[in-house]
């Protein structure tokens, strides 16, 4: 049964209200998930509202939904009135629980080949002629500045009859939809296409359109009425100062983008097209998604904006284009003269202006080296990840399914360091059966073969990852409540089913079972006892058992845990947020929740020291494993295995082969004594690409 059907709270004045759904989206219902929700809501005839406490919004209006200012963990209900209300509530509640089509775990970044440790700084005096910003898209480019300013669109203040002005508005909305469709057809990456699809939804937003029509019917001309309507909605989002979600305020840019397109059509002017010369690096206060999607990528080398952030739609488009980009760059960039030669270093977040001839030469040399290194890494992908002094590191992959496991093997992966089993439990109304789970796990094992390691993590949900069919109690602090193994221990029948399914892969690969979010020895012992019973019943007793190190208590008691576990795998993303008490998805704190902070590095060191005392191995499966800057330090602290994003395997293996274990140890001991993440990153900058 659907979520709503199992817990309808009854009708009030003919309206039905569904059960509360905890919002899983890390950044709330911004434009793309809101657009997906609206697209589904419009399939139903009923009047549908999205309710959060005393606040509510029209579920068929993207603008209204974004205006709620939702955040991760908000409890939402779907209310509907009409003949198909029950079906609408069930479908929309399920979509909300599933994240409205948004990937709920941040995709692991694709690491690129780092330079040799001996490489000098890119420019001779970076502090003098470099402007800093936030990396929106990595990469390196040398080009000349093109400054861009939006043109002012002037519309006629006086109009014809209300009926005639309404016809003009409707025609402009239709024409704008066709323009965006043409832009969308030119994009290969699906993420970019979804952004523009959300813009098309805005053009049909009932609340926005009705506000503009109301102005027209009060004898305003179409242009001023539309301008007032979209500016009002944009300002509403940008004024959400009470919300902790700065990303929503950025969505005002999406509304302004759509609004200006329609306004240009009403004014009878061509939508501003940015004319670029060859080898351009664009500088702007703000770029809209439409601006970015329409840029001539054969001429554009990169861009910088003084607004926005790494999660903005413009940043997503830049990454899909594969060009370097900075957001929130120093506003001095707007004063740089047209045609100024610059070096844009996306990975390090720097725009070098007035570089010397030698600086330019170094940049070109580095770009050539990067291209050559990537090709070489592919040809050497199957070589062992052996340090220069013979110390071996296992480079394995984080995967979700057999397809990704096969890709990992093809790229030289030594196995799977993290199989996220929750992918089988997502996007459904009931838990998967033992047979269904076993088939998926066995497929991954078959892709690896009996000589490669397969680490399967048991179900890791709760907190930011709820399941629609697994109701968990409302918690004020869900990240400190029922998460990871605690959920499994609360649901022993489901836990036993999963363990039996996992055990059926024994012998097909080198099976390791890993429990997530272990904080106490009691949790480990309880989970192991259940596993021992199921293993004994199935006859598959030769299985390694490990734990995720994600909370400080596990790191601090690593030696005690090492007496009872066969291995550790460090989840650096969660370990960072729990060590620093900073939500890694928080828009204001995310940049400070840095895994390079010395306190986090010391937690990793304690884990490795405790494991070493009992001869146990330690892996890292969090984001730091794929980060070239982190790899030397992790190895120096005693990590044996790096479980990385699949595309990163060749680059990380190549880096390992350039390192000395003794040098890594010295480096690790040096940086762990530093006081801030900034200091650590500065020391490790030579490994950045």
Give me the active site residues, please.
Answer: 313, 621
The Cβ-side half-sphere exposure at 273, using a 13 Å CA radius, reads 9
Distance, in Å, from the CA atom of 579 to the CA atom of 554, rounded to the nearest integer, reads 11
Q: What are phi and psi of 36, to 5 degrees?
A: -65, -40
Q: What are phi and psi of 376, to 5 degrees?
A: -65, -40
Q: How many CB atoms lie within 10 A of CB 526?
A: 16
Query: Strand locations in 491-532, DSSP E?
Result: 510-515
How distant, in Å, are the alpha carbons of 213, 342, 574, 578, 594 from that of 582? 45, 36, 10, 7, 9
- Which burial class, exposed, middle or buried, applies to 541 when counting CB atoms under 10 A from its CB (0-12, 13-18, 19+)? exposed
Structure tokens given for 478: 């869900």
How distant, in Å, are the alpha carbons of 40, 125, 127, 480, 620 from that of 677? 44, 22, 19, 25, 19
Query: Strand locations in 534-653, DSSP E?
Result: 544-549, 567-570, 617-620, 641-644
Cβ 292 vs Cβ 318: under 8 Å: yes
SS3 content of the chain, % helix, strand, coil (to 5): 45, 15, 40
Cβ 283 vs Cβ 304: under 8 Å: yes
305: left (phi over 0), alpha (psi -120 to 50) or beta: beta
Distance, in Å, from the CA atom of 77 to the CA atom of 241, rounded to the nearest integer, reads 24
Cβ 151 vs Cβ 275: under 8 Å: no
Long-range CB pairs of 359-368 (<8 Å, 24+ gap) are 359/122, 359/123, 359/124, 360/142, 362/120, 362/122, 362/123, 363/122, 363/140, 363/142, 364/142, 366/115, 366/119, 366/122, 366/140, 367/140, 367/141, 367/142
Distance, in Å, from the CA atom of 393 to the CA atom of 565, rounded to the nearest integer, reads 20
Sign of the torsion formed by the C-alpha atoms of 280, 363, 591 and 397: positive
Q: Look at residues 73, 119, 67, 125 and name the one whose alpha carbon lies nearest to residue 96.
A: 73
């Amino acid at each position: 049964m659907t979520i709503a059907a199992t817990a309808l709270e009854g009708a009030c004045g003919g309206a039905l209200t569904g059960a509360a759904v905890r919002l899983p989206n890390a950044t709330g219902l911004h434009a793309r998930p809101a657009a997906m929700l609206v697209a589904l809501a419009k399939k139903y005839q009923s009047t549908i509202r999205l309710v959060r406490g005393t606040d509510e919004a029209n579920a068929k209006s993207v603008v209204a939904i974004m205006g709620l200012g939702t955040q991760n963990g908000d409890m939402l209900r779907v209310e509907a009135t009409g003949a198909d209300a029950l079906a609408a509530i069930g479908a929309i509640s399920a979509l909300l629980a599933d994240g409205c089509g948004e990937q709920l775990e941040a995709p692991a970044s694709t690491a690129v080949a780092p330079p040799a440790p001996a490489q000098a700084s890119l420019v001779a005096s970076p502090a003098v002629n470099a402007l800093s910003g936030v990396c929106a898209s990595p990469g390196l480019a040398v080009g000349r500045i093109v400054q861009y300013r939006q043109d002012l669109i002037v519309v006629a203040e006086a109009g014809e009859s209300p009926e005639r002005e309404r016809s003009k508005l409707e025609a402009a909305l239709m024409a704008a939809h066709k323009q965006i469709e043409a832009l969308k057809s030119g994009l290969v990456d699906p993420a970019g296409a979804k952004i523009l699809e959300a813009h098309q939804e805005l053009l049909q937003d009932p609340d926005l359109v009705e506000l503009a029509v109301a102005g027209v019917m009060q004898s305003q001309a179409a242009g001023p009425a539309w301008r007032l309507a979209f500016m009002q909605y944009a300002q509403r989002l940008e004024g959400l100062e009470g919300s902790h979600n700065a990303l929503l305020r950025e969505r005002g840019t999406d509304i302004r983008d759509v609004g200006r397109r329609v306004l240009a059509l009403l004014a009878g002017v061509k939508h501003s097209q940015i004319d670029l010369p060859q080898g351009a690096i664009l500088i702007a206060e703000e770029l809209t998604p439409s601006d970015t999607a329409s840029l001539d990528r054969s001429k554009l080398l990169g861009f910088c904006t003084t607004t926005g952030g790494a999660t903005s739609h413009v940043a997503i488009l830049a990454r899909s284009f594969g060009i370097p980009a900075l957001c929130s760059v120093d506003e001095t960039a707007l004063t740089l003269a047209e045609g100024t030669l610059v070096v844009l270093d996306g990975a390090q977040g720097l725009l070098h202006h007035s570089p010397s001839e030698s600086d330019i030469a170094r940049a070109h040399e580095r770009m050539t080296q990067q291209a050559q290194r990537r090709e070489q890494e592919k040809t050497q992908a199957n070589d062992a990840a052996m340090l220069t002094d013979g110390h071996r590191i296992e480079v394995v992959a984080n995967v979700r399914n057999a397809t990704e496991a096969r890709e990992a093997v093809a790229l030289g992966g030594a196995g799977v360091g993290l199989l996220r089993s929750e992918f089988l439990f997502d996007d459904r109304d009931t838990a998967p059966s033992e047979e269904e789970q076993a088939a998926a796990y066995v497929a991954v094992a078959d892709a690896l073969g009996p000589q490669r390691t397969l680490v399967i993590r048991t179900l890791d949900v709760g907190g930011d990852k709820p399941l629609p069919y697994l109701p968990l109690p409302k918690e004020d602090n869900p990240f400190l409540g029922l998460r990871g193994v605690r959920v499994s221990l609360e649901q022993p029948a489901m836990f036993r089913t999963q363990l039996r399914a996992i055990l059926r892969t024994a012998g097909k690969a080198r099976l390791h079972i890993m429990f997530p979010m272990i904080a106490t020895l009691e949790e480990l012992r309880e989970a192991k006892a259940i596993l021992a019973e199921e293993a004994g019943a199935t006859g598959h007793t030769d299985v390694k058992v490990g734990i995720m190190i994600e909370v400080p208590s596990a790191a601090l008691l690593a030696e005690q845990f090492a007496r009872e576990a066969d291995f550790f795998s460090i989840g650096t993303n969660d370990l960072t947020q729990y060590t620093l008490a900073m939500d890694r998805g928080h828009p204001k704190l995310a940049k400070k929740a840095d895994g390079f902070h010395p306190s986090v590095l010391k937690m990793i060191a304690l884990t490795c020291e405790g494991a070493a005392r009992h001869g146990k191995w330690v892996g890292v499966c969090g984001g730091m494993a794929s980060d070239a800057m982190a790899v030397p330090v992790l190895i120096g602290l005693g990590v044996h295995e790096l479980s990385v994003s699949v595309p990163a395997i060749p680059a990380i293996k190549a880096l390992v082969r350039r390192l000395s274990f003794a040098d890594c140890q010295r480096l690790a001991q040096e940086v762990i004594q530093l006081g801030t993440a900034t200091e650590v990153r500065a020391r490790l900058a030579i490994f950045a690409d």
